[in-house]
Structure 1
Amino acid sequence: MGTAFIFPGQGSQAVGMGKALADASAAARQTLQEVDEALGQSLSRLMFEGPEDALTLTSNAQPAIMAASIAALHVLEQDGNIRLADKAALVSGHSLGEYSALAAAGVFTLADTARLLRTRGDAMQAAVAPGEGAMAALLGLDRDAVEKVVADALAAGPGGEVLAAANDNAPGQVVISGHKTAVDRAIDLAKAAGARRAMPLAVSAPFHCALMQPAADVMAEALGRAAMQAPLVPLVANVTAASVTDVESIRRLLVEQVTATVRWRESVEAMAGLGITRMVEFGGKVLGPMVKRIAPDIECLSVAGPADIDAVLKAL
């Protein structure tokens, strides 16, 4: 039975995240302290106590989600006396979760991952002026139908707008991103095309589209300076939905990921095709439901709190 360790992305943050693990485990406390020291702030206090609006800021949410994920992994490894390389055949993550996956697989140090995600969050937030961009979830349309909606919305506009599929999360669950005017038209067109729901998302910037190119440029420079090691196990990358182990390829894909579609549905399908029959999500319980919609036969487990540790250890 092949197992993949998977890591959630932005939107999985919540006040109180990581606190129960930190209260119960020295491994979690040490992980969060290391992130605090790397960033020069008490991010853990913000995770535990809020306020929510500060935690939700992209520059805080991205390293916080990673910290909670890696803390959960370290607790599992310490309590169970296991190593990722012995229990996981692959790692993968959703958007920023790809950085968590790479930290878990030893590509980046924990401190470098935290600093890279702070840089990424700041750059993504600064890439587009407030109010200029937007994102929307289109439910009930497949990827091809969404691509037609995107094309029609752009054709109906003044020209020069950006609009793209940002996240292909699961069958009938695609997120679009781009200029707000184009997203608004696409919402109306999606409803006319039979979408079950088409709704704007409460996000601070239009992620994973060409409007994020300034952030991609920042990350190209930051990643160019970052120390990287070969992963302990292959990564299934967002951009390609294929496994990769070459460090320079991973570096390039992380830059491309800022503006490219998160191909999560295809990534899960690819992992199933590579023999994965179980996925363990670290730091949240948001990817499991998507996985079950994509590949119902895959067993989904999660490590979000102390109560999850024993069940996952028994399964592994």
Structure 2
Amino acid sequence: MTRAFVFPGQGSQAVGMGQELAQSHAVAREVFQEVDEALSQNLSKLMFEGPIEELTLTENAQPALMAVSMAVVRVLEKDGNMDLAKVAKYVAGHSLGEYSALTAAGALELADAARLLKARGQAMQAAVPVGVGAMAALLGLDIGPVEEVVAEAKEKSTNDEIVVAANDNADGQVVLSGHKGAVEAAIEIATAKGAKKAMLLPVSAPFHCPLMQPAADAMAERLAEVVIAPPRVPLIANVTAGEVSDPDTIRKLLVEQVTGRVRWRESVLYMGEQGVEELVEMGSGKVLSTMVRRINRAMSGSAVGTPADIDAFLAKL
């Protein structure tokens, strides 16, 4: 079985995330402690106990999701004697999950990843005043028709407002991002074009669009200060949907990722073309693993996030 390890993005956070792992595995507790120390914050307590409103804040959700993903990977490696490079052909992550993927593959140190994601969350939140931007999910339209929707919405905009396809997640599942007025106009156009559902998302900022340029600039500065090593297996990058192992290219793509499209559908298709048969989602939730078959029916998906999941996965190896 040829596998890729994939790592979830924002939206997969939940109160209690990682708690069962911490109770059953010392190595998971060590991961959470290291992240807490790197951030000078009791993030693990927030993860275990909530409140959800505080956990969902971008600056908390991003390092928290990475921490749970890394706790799973470390338990597999240290307690399960798994060699990631022998089990996974690629790593990939959805948006912030790209940092989790790089950490799992040894390109980033855990503490550096935690600090980068904290900074990334703060910078993304600060880039656009609340209420100026918005994101919307379009269900039932593929990326081609969505590009037509975006073009029409831009034409109707009176103030050169921005709207782009920010996440190409799967066939019939695309997310828009940009100025609130332009996104709302796009929702109306998409509905008229036959979208099954077109709705604003409860997010705090318009991610993965040009409005995030101040955050991209901030991340360029932060990433320049961090050592990035060649990953033990190639990364499938969000903005190119192709593989990358060169540290300088990885650094550049992480900056571009802040304003660029998450090309997840294309990334999964590429991995399938390279012989990957199963995507294994490491961490909180099952968003990516349940989406797999909508993109490539020949590929399977599984999620590893609890001690029981870890035991079941190790038994398959």
Name the TM-score class by shorter chain. Answer: over 0.9
Give the aligned CA root-mean-square deviation in angstroms: 0.7
Q: CA deviation at 1:307?
A: 1.1
1:314 Cα deviation from its structure 2 partner: 2.0
State the Cα deviation string for residues 149-186 of structure 1 (Å, max 9, x = none): 01101101103211100100000000000000001111
**Higher mean displacement: 26-35 or 297-306:** 297-306
> Structure 1 length normalisation: TM-score?
0.99
Where does 1:29-44 land on structure 2 (aligned, <5 Å)? 29-44=29-44
Residue 193 in 1 paired to residue 193 in 2?
Answer: yes
Identity across aligned pairs (percent)? 62
Q: How does 1:72-83 map to 2 (within 5 A)?
A: 72-83=72-83
Check whether the contact 1:302–1:312 (CA below 8 A) recurs between aligned residues: no
Task: State the alpha-carbon separation in 1 of the partners of residues 61 and 269 from structure 2.
Answer: 28
User: Which residue does 2:94 correspond to in 1?
Assistant: 94
- What is the CA–CA distance in structure 2 between the aligned matches of 1:123 and 1:109, rounded to whole Å? 21
Deviates most, 152-161 or 2-11: 152-161
Paired with 1:194 and 1:266, the residues of 2 have a C-alpha distance of 23
Q: Distance in 1 between matches of 2:196 and 2:166?
A: 19
Give per-residue Cα distances to partners, 1:77-124, cap 9 Å, x unaligned: 223111211211100000000000000001110000000000000000
Q: Is 1:155 paired with 2:172?
A: no
Q: Which 4+ residue blocks in structure 1 deviate beyond 2 angstroms?
A: none
Which whole-Å CA distance do the structure 1 matches of 2:316 and 2:299 have between them? 13
Counterpart-to-counterpart distance in 2, 1:252 and 1:292? 31
1:301 maps onto 2:266 in alignment: no
Equivalent residues in 2 for 1:8-47, closer than 5 Å: 8-47=8-47
The one-letter amino acid paired with 1:291 is: V
Please, which runs of 5 or more residues in structure 2 have no aligned partner?
A: none
Residue 287 (1) aligns with residue 284 (2): no
Give 1:169's aligned residue. 169
| Alignment of structure 1 residues 129-144 onto 2, 5 Å | 129-144=129-144
**Corresponding residue number in structure 2 for 1:216:** 216
Distance 2:241 2:140 in 1: 22
Distance 1:156 1:300 in 2: 41
Report whether the alignment pairs 1:238 with 2:259: no
The aligned amino acid for 2:106 is G
3-state SS of the aligned residue for 1:276?
Answer: coil
Structure 1 unaligned runs (5+)?
Answer: none
User: Would the aligned equivalents of 1:208 and 1:261 in 2 still touch at CA under 8 Å?
Assistant: yes
Counterparts in 2 of 1:39-58, with a 5 A limit? 39-58=39-58
Matched residue SS, 2:311: helix
AA at the equivalent of 2:131? G
C-alpha distance in 2 between matches for 1:23 and 1:154: 51
1:297 is displaced (CA, Å) by: 1.8
Whole-Å separation in 1 of the counterparts to 2:300 and 2:71: 22
Q: Secondary structure at the match of 2:248?
A: helix
TM-score, normalising length: structure 2: 0.98
Secondary structure of 1:233 counterpart: coil
* CA–CA distance in structure 1, aligned partners of residues 203 and 123 of structure 2: 15
| Structure 1 partner of 2:114 | 114
Indicate the SS of the match to 2:208: coil
Shift of 1:299: 2.2
